[in-house]
Amino acid sequence: MQLRSRYSETDKMGVVYHSRYLEYFEVIRTEFIREAGLSYAEMEERGVMLPVANVEIRFRRPILYDELMNGRLMVFDEPAVRLVTYYDIRPAGSHQSSVTGKVELVFVDAATRRPVRAPEFFKKKMQSYAGMA
Protein backbone atom coordinates (compact mmCIF):
# COMPACT_ATOMS: atom_id res chain seq x y z
CA MET A 1 0.00 0.00 0.00
CA GLN A 2 1.09 3.58 -0.47
CA LEU A 3 1.79 5.91 2.42
CA ARG A 4 3.07 9.46 2.59
CA SER A 5 5.10 10.80 5.49
CA ARG A 6 3.51 13.77 7.22
CA TYR A 7 5.16 16.73 8.90
CA SER A 8 3.98 15.62 12.35
CA GLU A 9 5.79 12.29 11.88
CA THR A 10 9.23 13.82 11.32
CA ASP A 11 11.92 15.15 13.62
CA LYS A 12 13.80 18.46 13.39
CA MET A 13 15.95 17.03 10.56
CA GLY A 14 12.86 16.24 8.44
CA VAL A 15 13.35 12.48 8.92
CA VAL A 16 10.49 10.20 9.89
CA TYR A 17 10.90 9.50 13.61
CA HIS A 18 11.76 5.86 14.31
CA SER A 19 8.67 5.01 16.37
CA ARG A 20 6.37 6.10 13.53
CA TYR A 21 7.26 2.96 11.59
CA LEU A 22 5.32 0.90 14.13
CA GLU A 23 2.28 3.00 13.21
CA TYR A 24 2.96 2.41 9.51
CA PHE A 25 3.20 -1.33 10.18
CA GLU A 26 -0.15 -1.20 11.96
CA VAL A 27 -1.82 0.67 9.09
CA ILE A 28 -0.44 -1.84 6.58
CA ARG A 29 -1.51 -4.82 8.74
CA THR A 30 -5.00 -3.42 9.36
CA GLU A 31 -5.57 -2.87 5.63
CA PHE A 32 -4.13 -6.30 4.80
CA ILE A 33 -6.64 -7.95 7.14
CA ARG A 34 -9.43 -5.76 5.75
CA GLU A 35 -8.52 -6.71 2.17
CA ALA A 36 -8.68 -10.37 3.23
CA GLY A 37 -12.31 -9.82 4.23
CA LEU A 38 -12.05 -9.16 7.98
CA SER A 39 -11.57 -6.21 10.27
CA TYR A 40 -10.11 -5.86 13.72
CA ALA A 41 -13.55 -4.72 14.92
CA GLU A 42 -15.16 -7.90 13.58
CA MET A 43 -12.49 -10.05 15.20
CA GLU A 44 -13.05 -8.34 18.54
CA GLU A 45 -16.83 -8.77 18.17
CA ARG A 46 -16.12 -12.48 17.73
CA GLY A 47 -14.10 -12.51 20.96
CA VAL A 48 -10.56 -12.46 19.57
CA MET A 49 -7.92 -9.78 20.08
CA LEU A 50 -4.51 -9.59 18.43
CA PRO A 51 -1.99 -7.66 20.58
CA VAL A 52 1.64 -7.19 19.62
CA ALA A 53 4.09 -9.48 21.46
CA ASN A 54 7.39 -8.67 19.76
CA VAL A 55 8.79 -6.18 17.25
CA GLU A 56 12.02 -6.04 15.27
CA ILE A 57 12.92 -3.12 13.02
CA ARG A 58 15.94 -2.52 10.84
CA PHE A 59 16.57 1.02 9.56
CA ARG A 60 18.46 1.17 6.28
CA ARG A 61 17.72 4.57 4.73
CA PRO A 62 15.72 7.49 6.12
CA ILE A 63 12.29 8.43 4.86
CA LEU A 64 11.96 12.20 4.65
CA TYR A 65 9.05 14.58 5.12
CA ASP A 66 6.37 14.33 2.39
CA GLU A 67 8.01 11.29 0.83
CA LEU A 68 5.71 8.83 -0.89
CA MET A 69 6.49 5.26 0.10
CA ASN A 70 5.26 1.76 -0.60
CA GLY A 71 4.67 -0.62 2.28
CA ARG A 72 4.35 -4.36 1.90
CA LEU A 73 3.30 -7.02 4.41
CA MET A 74 4.29 -10.67 4.07
CA VAL A 75 3.15 -13.73 6.01
CA PHE A 76 5.10 -16.91 5.42
CA ASP A 77 3.65 -19.32 7.99
CA GLU A 78 0.08 -20.25 8.78
CA PRO A 79 -0.80 -18.68 12.13
CA ALA A 80 -1.12 -20.94 15.15
CA VAL A 81 -1.23 -18.97 18.42
CA ARG A 82 1.00 -16.30 16.87
CA LEU A 83 0.68 -14.36 13.65
CA VAL A 84 4.15 -13.40 12.42
CA THR A 85 4.15 -10.56 9.91
CA TYR A 86 7.07 -9.10 7.94
CA TYR A 87 7.26 -5.59 6.51
CA ASP A 88 9.17 -3.77 3.82
CA ILE A 89 8.88 0.00 3.41
CA ARG A 90 10.66 1.76 0.58
CA PRO A 91 10.38 5.07 -1.26
CA ALA A 92 7.93 4.89 -4.16
CA GLY A 93 9.79 3.78 -7.28
CA SER A 94 12.83 2.55 -5.35
CA HIS A 95 14.13 -0.99 -5.27
CA GLN A 96 15.94 -0.39 -1.97
CA SER A 97 14.26 -0.90 1.38
CA SER A 98 14.28 1.97 3.84
CA VAL A 99 12.89 -0.05 6.73
CA THR A 100 12.23 -3.74 7.22
CA GLY A 101 10.50 -5.25 10.19
CA LYS A 102 8.94 -8.22 11.87
CA VAL A 103 5.94 -8.07 14.19
CA GLU A 104 4.68 -11.05 16.19
CA LEU A 105 1.08 -10.84 17.35
CA VAL A 106 -0.71 -13.24 19.67
CA PHE A 107 -4.32 -14.36 19.33
CA VAL A 108 -5.99 -13.67 22.67
CA ASP A 109 -9.43 -14.48 24.03
CA ALA A 110 -11.07 -11.08 24.61
CA ALA A 111 -12.76 -12.18 27.85
CA THR A 112 -9.89 -14.01 29.55
CA ARG A 113 -6.96 -12.21 27.87
CA ARG A 114 -5.29 -15.61 27.53
CA PRO A 115 -3.60 -16.84 24.34
CA VAL A 116 -5.71 -19.00 22.03
CA ARG A 117 -5.19 -20.73 18.72
CA ALA A 118 -5.87 -18.72 15.58
CA PRO A 119 -9.60 -18.96 14.91
CA GLU A 120 -10.68 -20.95 11.88
CA PHE A 121 -12.58 -17.97 10.44
CA PHE A 122 -9.31 -15.99 10.43
CA LYS A 123 -7.26 -18.79 8.87
CA LYS A 124 -9.89 -19.39 6.16
CA LYS A 125 -9.97 -15.71 5.21
CA MET A 126 -6.17 -15.57 5.03
CA GLN A 127 -6.00 -18.75 2.93
CA SER A 128 -8.70 -17.50 0.59
CA TYR A 129 -6.97 -14.13 0.24
CA ALA A 130 -3.66 -15.81 -0.53
CA GLY A 131 -5.34 -18.10 -3.07
CA MET A 132 -4.61 -21.20 -1.02
CA ALA A 133 -8.20 -22.28 -0.33
pLDDT at position 104 is 98
pTM of the model: 0.92
54 pLDDT band, cuts 50/70/90, is very high
User: Do residues 11 and 17 lie in contact, with contact meaning Cβ atoms separated by under 8 Å?
Assistant: yes
- Averaged pLDDT, 53-70: 97
Judge whether residue 132 has pLDDT over 70: no
The average confidence (pLDDT) of the chain is 95
Class in CATH terms, 2-129: alpha beta
Render pLDDT for 67-108 as a digit per residue (tens, 0 to 9).
999 999 999 999 999 999 999 999 999 999 999 999 999 999
pLDDT at position 130 is 82
- Nearest CA to 52 out of 26, 17, 89, 88 is that of 26
SS3 9: helix
Judge whether residue 133 has pLDDT over 70: no
What CA–CA distance (Å, rounded) separates 129 from 36?
A: 5
- Averaged pLDDT, 41-54: 96
